[in-house]
Amino acid sequence: MTETPTRRRSGGRAARTAARSQKLHADIRPVRPGLPGGQYRPLSDTDVLRIHEAALAALEEIGFAKAPPSGVRILTGAGAEMGADGRIRFPRALVEDMLAKASRGITLHGRDPAYDLHLERTNTHYGTAGAAVHMVDPFTGTYRDPGMQDLYDAARLVQALDNVHFLQRPVVCREFTDNAELDLHTLYAACAGTTKHVGTSFTEAANVPACIEMLHEIAGGEAAWRERPFVSNSNCFVVPPFTFAEESCEVMEACIRAGMPVLLLSAGQAGATAPAPIATAVVQAVAECLAGVVYVNALAPGHTAIFGTWPFVSDLRTGAMSGGSGEQALLTAACAQMHQFYGLPGGAAAGIADSKLPDMQAGWEQAISNVMAGLSGLNMIYEAAGMHASLMGFCLESLVLGNDLLGQVQRCVRGVEVRDEYVSIDVMKSVILEGPGHYLGHAQTLRLMQTEYIYPELADRSSPKEWVEKGQPMLLDRARQRKEEILGRDGHMFAPDLEARLRERFDLRPLKRE
C-alpha cells in the first residue's frame, strides 16, 4: 500500500457528511416507485407495428394447443375457433375486441397503501421474482435448498429496501412435499414479511380456495380483500410455443373469480422454446400474451391483468438459459415498447445474473438489463434483484446490494430535468464573474444535494486513502452486515391477533422472526 493510514481530520466535514446522509422522507427522495421511463426505444414505430401484425397472424394461423375444457368453453364462447387439429385459433377481430376491454391504468395494491403501484404509461417498478431452487452463500459459494424461512427473510429485506418496490416470491420453499402446504406457506411467509405488493404462484386450482381464505383473513374480510387485493398471481398459463398449461389456466380462472390480479406470463426461451431472432421471440411472446388477454377478458371483462411477456435467452452454444446476457436486456426492452403500443400494463424480467456469485460479472449483468428495462419504461421489472445462476440461485446479500444498484438505475430513469432555472446562466455568471469561481457550497448546490442526487448505502465512494483508513471494507461484508441488521429486528408484518387467528385456522410452521 503506498497510502499510509493517517488519522482522519475530525470536525466539520465528517459531521456534515453524516448529517447529509440521513434517510430522506419519501416525498423528497430523488427516486421513487413509478418513475416514468421511455427515453430509450429499441424499436421503431414501424417495427412495433410489424411485430404486432406478425403476432396477430400467429394467433390466427397457428393458434394454441391444450386448452383445458373450461378454457375451450370460455374462448370459443367468445369467438375463438377450435380447429380439427385441436388448436384454438384467434380471429383478429376477437383479439382487438378483447384488447378494447382489457384493464388499463391498474393499481397493484400493497397491504400498506403507501406501497401501491400504479401501472400506467411508462411508469417503472422494480421487484423480485423467480422460483430459485437454491440459496446462494456468497462467502463459500455454497448452493443449498431454500425454505420458507428464506422467503420470509427475503420479504423482510424487501420491506426495508426502498428501491425494491414489490416482492414476487423469488424462491421455492423446498421443505414442502405437499403442494397445498407449499402454496399456503409461500403466501403466508411472503405476506408476513412485507406489506408491499406480493406476487405468488399456485401449483393447482384446488389449492387456491384455502389461500384466498387466508387472504380474506389478512385483509379483514372478503370485501376488504376485493377492494384492495394486495397479492397477484404469477401465472404461466402458456408453455411456449403456443400451448396452454392446463393446470395453470385452471388456477388463473380460480384467481380471477377470487378477485386476484393475474400476471399473464409467457416465458419462452429464445433459441429453445422461442425463436432465436430477438424480434421473433418478441412476436411469439406478444402473441401468447394476447391469447391470455382474450382468455381473461372473455371470462371477466376488465379484470386486472399484467401483460407478462417474459422471453428469456438461450446461450445458443449450449441451449442453457442466459438471463444475464445483452440479448436478454434487448428482449425485455423491446417487450416494454409493445406493452406501450397496446397501452396495457406490462411486465418482464430484468436484473438476472448468470454469475453464481455477487461478483463483478453479476454487477454488470444485473445493471445492464435493469437500466435498459427502466429506460424503456417497463411497468413491472421482475427478477430485478438477488437472482444468480440464470434464476437457479437467490442470494440475500445480493438482494441488499441490489437496492443500491436499483437506486442508481432509478436515478438514471428519472433522467435529466431541464427546468428554466437550469438553462439560466445566472448562477454561472454570479459564481464566475462575482463569486468564488466554483460551485461548492453554492445555495443551488446545497439545495440539489439531497433531492436530485442519490447516494448508495453500501457502495463505497471514498478515496483509496480513506478506504485504507477504514480498513479496506469489502462490499460483501457490508452487505452481510446490513442484511443481519435488518433481519436482526422483528419485522413481522402481522399483528399478534392476526397471527394468532391465522395459526388457529391453518396448520402453519414456525418462522424465526429476528
Q: Name which of residues 263 to 302 contact a second copy (CB under 8 A).
A: 270-280, 282-284
Considering the complex, state which of residue 76 and residue 361 has its C-beta at the smaller distance from a second copy.
361
Q: How many residues bind a second copy (CB under 8 A)?
A: 139
Give least dist CB 6 to a second copy, A: 15
Considering the complex, state which of residue 417 and residue 507 has its C-beta at the smaller distance from a second copy.
417
Give least dist CB 358 to a second copy, A: 5
Which of 327, 344, 352, 379 binds a second copy (CB under 8 A)? It is 327
Which of 326, 469, 499, 513 binds a second copy (CB under 8 A)? It is 326
Give least dist CB 197 to a second copy, A: 25
Considering the complex, state which of residue 41 and residue 118 has its C-beta at the smaller distance from a second copy.
41
H helices present in 195-262, as ranges:
208-219, 222-227, 246-257
Considering the complex, state which of residue 39 and residue 70 has its C-beta at the smaller distance from a second copy.
39
Give least dist CB 428 to a second copy, A: 6
Window 441-470: residues binding a second copy (CB under 8 A): 442, 444-446, 448-449, 452-456, 458-464, 467-468
Phi-psi region of 117 (alpha: psi -120 to 50; beta: other; left: phi over 0): beta
Window 20-39: residues binding a second copy (CB under 8 A): 20-21, 39
Q: What is the rounded distance in angstroms from the CA atom of residue 269 to the CA atom of residue 349?
A: 12
Give least dist CB 402 to a second copy, A: 9
Instruction: Report strand pairing: 142-144 vs 134-137.
Output: antiparallel
Are residues 194 and 436 in contact, defined by beta-carbon separation less than 8 angstroms?
A: no
Q: How many C-alpha atoms does 30 have within 13 Å on its Cβ side?
A: 22
Which of 11, 12, 69, 141 binds a second copy (CB under 8 A)? It is 141
Window 385-414: residues binding a second copy (CB under 8 A): 389-390, 392-393, 398, 401, 404-405, 407-412
> Nearest to residue 147, comparing CAs of 511, 504, 489, 507?
511
| Distance (Å) of CA 395 to CA 53, 138, 191, 197 | 41, 7, 20, 20
Place of cell 463505497: 460
3-state secondary structure of 203: coil
The answer to the question of residue 139 lying near a second copy (CB under 8 A) is no
Which of 24, 29, 36, 40 binds a second copy (CB under 8 A)? It is 40
Considering the complex, state which of residue 129 and residue 409 has its C-beta at the smaller distance from a second copy.
409
Range in contact with a second copy (rule: CB under 8 A) among 48-56, 73-81, 151-159, 303-311: 48-56
3-state secondary structure of 146: coil
Window 336-365: residues binding a second copy (CB under 8 A): 354-365
Are residues 411 and 371 in contact, defined by beta-carbon separation less than 8 angstroms?
A: no
Phi-psi region of 455 (alpha: psi -120 to 50; beta: other; left: phi over 0): beta
Which of 371, 381, 487, 511 binds a second copy (CB under 8 A)? It is 371
Q: What is the rounded distance in angstroms from the CA atom of residue 412 to the CA atom of residue 101?
A: 34
The answer to the question of residue 428 lying near a second copy (CB under 8 A) is yes
Give the helix/strand (H/E) hosting 7: none
Which of 10, 440, 488, 507 binds a second copy (CB under 8 A)? It is 440
Range in contact with a second copy (rule: CB under 8 A) among 55-63, 70-78, 189-197, 503-511: 55-63
Considering the complex, state which of residue 50 and residue 216 has its C-beta at the smaller distance from a second copy.
50
Instruction: Report strand pairing: 269-270 vs 312-313.
Output: parallel
Q: What is the rounded distance in angstroms from the CA atom of residue 222 to the CA atom of residue 217?
A: 8
Give least dist CB 56 to a second copy, A: 10
Report residue 514 as a C-alpha cell: 429476528
Place of cell 388463473: 252
The answer to the question of residue 45 lying near a second copy (CB under 8 A) is no
Q: What is the rounded distance in angstroms from the CA atom of residue 376 to the CA atom of residue 483?
A: 31
Which residues lie below 8 Å from residue 436, measured CB to CB, with a gap of 6+? none
Give the helix/strand (H/E) hosting 165: none
Range in contact with a second copy (rule: CB under 8 A) among 73-81, 149-157, 196-204, 432-440: 432-440
Window 466-495: residues binding a second copy (CB under 8 A): 467-468, 472, 474-476
The answer to the question of residue 16 lying near a second copy (CB under 8 A) is yes
Are residues 229 and 200 in contact, defined by beta-carbon separation less than 8 angstroms?
A: no
Q: What is the rounded distance in angstroms from the CA atom of residue 458 to the CA atom of residue 476?
A: 9
The answer to the question of residue 3 lying near a second copy (CB under 8 A) is yes
Considering the complex, state which of residue 231 and residue 239 has its C-beta at the smaller distance from a second copy.
239
